[in-house]
A = this chain, B = another copy of it.
Amino acid sequence: MKIIKEVEEASIKRSVDSGTEEQRKAVKKIIASVREKGDDSLKEYTEKFDGVTIEELKVSEVEIADAFAEMDTGMIKVIQEAADNIRDFHEKQKQSSWFTTRPDGTMLGQKLTPLDSVGVYVPGGTAAYPSSVLMNVLPAKVAGVGRITMVSPPGKDGKLSAGVLVAAKIAGVEEIYKVGGAQAVAALAYGTESISPVDKITGPGNIFVALAKREVFGDVDIDMIAGPSEIVVLADGSQHADEIAADLLSQAEHDALASAVLVTTSEELAEEVSREVERQLSTLPREEIARRSINDYGAIYVTEDLEKAVDLVNNLAPEHLEILTADPFETMAGIRHAGAIFLGRYSSEPVGDYFAGPNHVLPTNGTARFSSPLNVDEFMKKSSIISYSEKALRENGDKIAAFARLEGLEAHARAVEIRFNKRG
């Protein structure tokens, strides 16, 4: 890995694929077709893009039972335990409705209501991750969303992967449909004969899925468009180079566009990690992907002191941050921008990908400056509550009317005054 010294600013931003004009046109056409022809259109596109004829879009109970039979019992228990941990953590995020009163009879508050319905997109093929099913579905479930629909493109055999079906069942998804791509997004947004429309669509997908989500946004809500994965390890000189190298590679193996970065105060550690990365790389099944990621978007920054290292991390605003310093909690206090923060030697990043409980859907590409991990708040909405008593309005009505007139809105002022000054 390249080692860079005396750096003041750095970035892990990569250019986001925003699609070609042709792709955007194709997506618009697909959406229009699904709105017009419903299920027929979904089946046509599935034949065209996934190369398989689907009679019944909805996954049957038999298919789900088959998935459980296919999977190792020990593995099912692991998924179950991970789901329990994720549910526990997200339950702590759940906000309550609240209100406040004043002696004059004023009552103000905030009412929280779960969304009526959510659609979760799950990619097909090797990107059909059971962990992503848990991470997208469970926050919605904890929020109390009434109806959670899942869509995913079928394989050539006309099926979804066992892992995805098991995870979906464990997470509590009730409706699963074998359809993917822009056509699935259109079905979730506008409904077909089989698929009822939802209020929000979440989950990752390819460029067609991303463009379709952008296209339907406004009619329904969407989650953020996730970019390639990133890890930054912040380490002082007392740390284990082999473990740091392994953690860097765990993100690098995701994607050739992934970014793995070490920020350290120790030149010696920098050299050691660089050697370890090279050594471990050559033993990985996904060596080629990981190597491209390390070469193109990997870096080791050596800083003068820990303060400068923390500044650089805030500058990078990474998706995942590992803090490996003498006192990780003290170091964390200075971190302003990071999606998830892993503290100490035994909090290797994959702990968070699968098992600990916090969400693995995290802000990428520097957006941790202003974005959060996927969380329960995103599946609930707030309504403000305002209840004024006669006394409260009598005491404040003139002020409200004056403010309205300052803004030239006479009817606003009169709406308040008519309560007390009746005509005739």
Q: Is A369 an interface residue (CB 8 A)?
A: yes
Q: Quick one: which of B126, B335, B377, B410 contacts A383, CB cutoff 8 A?
A: B335
Contacts of A419 in B (CB 8 A): 243, 345-346, 348
User: Across the interface, which residues of B come within 8 angstroms of A252, CB to CB?
Assistant: 411
Q: Which residues of B contact A336 (CB under 8 A)?
A: 113, 116
A97-137 interface mask toward B, CB cutoff 8 Å, 1 = contact, 0 = none? 01010000011101101011000000000100111000000
Return chain B residues, CB-CB under 8 Å to A196.
none
Counting chain B CB atoms within 10 Å of each CB, the highest count among A98, A163, A246, A359 belongs to A246
Q: Which single member of B98, B221, B383 contacts A340 (CB below 8 Å)?
A: B383
**With A111-B332, A372-B381, A382-B375: A412-B346 Cβ-Cβ less than 8 Å:** no
**Which of B246, B285, B363 contacts A418 (CB under 8 A)?**
B246
Name the residue on B nearest A314 (C-beta): B116
Write the nearest CB–CB distance from A146 to chain B, whole angstroms: 10
Shortest beta-carbon distance, A98 to chain B, in Å? 7
Interface membership of A247, Cβ < 8 A: yes
Question: Interface residues, chain A, CB within 8 Å of chain B?
Answer: 16, 74-75, 78-79, 81-82, 89, 92-93, 95, 98, 100, 106-108, 110-111, 113, 115-116, 126, 129-131, 163, 199-200, 218, 220-221, 242-243, 246-247, 249-250, 252-254, 280, 284-286, 290, 328-329, 332, 335-359, 362-363, 365, 367-373, 375, 377, 381-390, 392-393, 396, 399-400, 402-404, 406-416, 418-419, 422-423
**Interface CB pairs A-B, < 8 A, 23:** A79-B403, A81-B399, A111-B332, A111-B341, A126-B408, A218-B367, A243-B419, A250-B409, A253-B410, A280-B414, A286-B411, A340-B383, A342-B386, A342-B387, A345-B419, A346-B392, A347-B388, A348-B388, A348-B393, A350-B400, A352-B386, A355-B400, A358-B384
For the complex of A and B, 3 pairs with smallest distance between CB atoms: A358-B384, A372-B382, A343-B387
